[in-house]
Amino acid sequence: MAETDGTGQDRGRAASADEAQARERLRAFGRKLDAARRDEDPGKRPGASSSSLLGMAFRIATELVAGLALGGFIGWLLDRWLGTRPVFLLIFIGLGAAGAFVNIFRYANRMHAAARAEADRNAAARVPHKTQGGE
Amino acid sequence: MAVEQASGGAHGGSGLDPLHQFAIERIVPLRIFGLDFSFTNSALWMTIVAILASLLMVVGARNRALIPGRVQSVTETAYEFVAGLVRDNAGTEGLRYFPFIFTLFIFILFANMLGMIPGSFTVTSHIIVTFALAILVFVVVTGIGFAKHGTAYLKLFVPDGVPGWLLPLLVPIEVISYFIRPFSLGIRLFANMMAGHMMLVVFASFVLMLGVVGGWLPLIVMVGLNALEVLIAFLQAFVFALLSSIYLNDALHMHH
């Protein structure tokens, strides 16, 4: 580890051809690292634990609360300013709820895409394992 | 002994006041131009958080050993954790703003964790603190969006492929959903920290009320709650950093 680090630094200081070579080696190492990570047991991957599910539940709940609170506040301010209680209060509570739902919907979409990508990766990683085990 | 003292201080068997722990106390009263600039217990704990966090980073980065020692490996783990978070959610471009996200994460994590020490003050249990942090994220991210895209950043509020007559309805919803961000960011952190700490005091007062005979059950629950609170303290710092980098991604790449 120490040796490769030292030689990498020296080459960086030397000619640019060596530098390109070092960079290529670094990139090859990155690819190897990625492949190794993919082969790793997917159950041990961080972030896929129940703690992130807990965070997700909190997130959806607060999104709704924040949407209603913000909408209600804006509506209340407008009403107080224009003296039209309760017209804007009702409109903005509706808009706030809709905005919160938009955020939650996008968040759910993002999570769905992430979960699908994860499932694909796991399926791709499992196939070569099986053929190895069969032989 | 301690139980007797504490229950003696409570009023008429109603237990401890669960809100007392959030009280702001002036340590160094200070008034400038009629505004209250007192150094409070909240400010004291913010200072402690900042000093301890900086200390960990400075000590951890001092040796730069190839095989890290204990402190250095903690620092490196934190660095890699947040770097991975930013890279996964805001792309390689987002790594330019890594110092910002990392500072937020470490500050909130230390504030939450130090709040778990009995007798300490939880800075993040006050909505004004968490909301200030959330507004900071909101302003920075919006600034980055406008700096990168100019006025084209406003297209974020106009969804593509929507018939024109729906726009008067959809644009206000988009605008509101954008402005909800700092509120939900601030409320989430504040609500989690405050609710957790209140729950701990409520269960502690159950222990005092039920005494030596029946107090063991809430005591056991409290041990579990404490573990849960440590988890939440970490989780909320993580969620705050995660959402900040997701918002950063929207500002950088402008697609949903």
Mean pLDDT of B112-120: 92
Pairing of strands B26-28, B39-40: antiparallel
What ipTM does this complex have?
0.74
CA distances from B127 to A69, B62, B182, B183 (A): 14, 36, 12, 10
From the list B176, B191, B256, the residue facing A96 with the nearest CB is B176
Rounded distance between C-alpha atoms, residue B217 and residue B223, angstroms: 10
Q: Do A106 and B256 touch (CB under 8 A)?
A: yes
Rounded distance between C-alpha atoms, residue B123 and residue B190, angstroms: 9
User: pLDDT value at position B228?
Assistant: 92
Q: Do B239 and A58 touch (CB under 8 A)?
A: yes
Place of tokens 């230390």: B110
Among candidate residues A59, A34, A101, the one with its CA nearest the CA of residue B184: A59
Backbone conformation region of residue A32, classed left if phi is above 0, alpha if psi is from -120 to 50, else beta = alpha
User: In A, which residues are within 8 Å of B235 by CB distance?
Assistant: 51, 54-55
**Residue B2 above 70 pLDDT?**
no
> A42: how many CB neighbours lie within 10 A of its CB?
15
Question: What percent of chain B clears pLDDT 70, i.e. is strictly above it?
Answer: 93
Mean pLDDT of B39-43: 91
Q: Does A72 touch chain B (CB under 8 A)?
A: no
- Helix B216-253 and helix B167-214, axial crossing angle in degrees, nearest 10: 160
What torsion, rounded to 10 degrees, do the Cα atoms B107, B112, B113, B118 define? 130
Among chain A residues, the shortest Cα distance to B159 is held by A102
Q: Does A35 touch chain B (CB under 8 A)?
A: no
Among chain A residues, the shortest Cα distance to B228 is held by A51
User: pLDDT value at position B255?
Assistant: 67
Q: Does A90 touch chain B (CB under 8 A)?
A: no
Mean pLDDT of A26-53: 68
Q: Which of A102-106, B30-34, B47-51 has the lowest mean pLDDT?
A: B30-34
pTM strictly above 0.90: no
Mean pLDDT of A74-101: 92
Q: Do B177 and A100 touch (CB under 8 A)?
A: yes
pLDDT digit string (tens) for A94-129? Answer: 999 999 999 999 888 888 888 888 888 888 877 655
**Residue A44 above 70 pLDDT?**
no
Q: Where are the alpha helices (DSSP H) in chain B?
A: 2-9, 41-62, 70-94, 98-114, 127-149, 167-214, 216-253
Rounded distance between C-alpha atoms, residue B145 and residue A96, angstroms: 23
Chain A interface, best mutation among B87, B174, B183, by max A CB count within 10 A = B183
User: In B, which residues are within 8 Å of A63 by CB distance?
Assistant: 180, 184
Residue type, B51: I
**Residue B113 above 90 pLDDT?**
yes
User: In A, which residues are within 8 Å of B184 by CB distance?
Assistant: 59, 62-63, 65-67, 100, 103
Chain A interface, best mutation among B85, B105, B131, B180, by max A CB count within 10 A = B180
CA distances from A106 to A92, B105, B138 (A): 21, 24, 18
Residue type, A84: T
Q: Do B66 and A59 touch (CB under 8 A)?
A: no
Rounded distance between C-alpha atoms, residue B12 and residue B170, angstroms: 55
Mean pLDDT of A69-81: 93
Rounded distance between C-alpha atoms, residue B31 and residue B25, angstroms: 15
Q: 3-class SS at B21?
A: helix
Distance from chain centroid for Cα B14? 31
User: In A, which residues are within 8 Å of B175 by CB distance?
Assistant: 99
Average pLDDT taken over every residue of chain B: 88
**Residue B245 above 90 pLDDT?**
yes
Among chain B residues, the shortest Cα distance to A60 is held by B184
Q: Do B177 and A67 touch (CB under 8 A)?
A: yes
Which pair of tokens denotes residue A93?
Answer: 């509570």
Among chain A residues, the shortest Cα distance to B236 is held by A55
Backbone conformation region of residue A46, classed left if phi is above 0, alpha if psi is from -120 to 50, else beta = beta
Residue type, A90: L
Rounded distance between C-alpha atoms, residue B223 and residue B200, angstroms: 9
Which pair of tokens denotes residue B256?
Answer: 């949903």
Among candidate residues A28, A22, A27, A20, the one with its CA nearest the CA of residue A6: A22
pLDDT digit string (tens) for B68-80? Answer: 888 899 999 999 9
pLDDT digit string (tens) for B144-174? Answer: 999 999 999 998 898 888 888 888 989 999 9
The size of the A-B interface in CB pairs under 8 A is 74
User: In B, which residues are within 8 Å of A55 by CB distance?
Assistant: 235-236, 238-239, 242
Q: Does A67 touch chain B (CB under 8 A)?
A: yes
pLDDT digit string (tens) for B178-220? Answer: 999 999 999 999 999 999 999 999 998 888 888 888 888 999 9
Selection from A9-23, B33-47, B95-109 with the highest mean pLDDT: B95-109
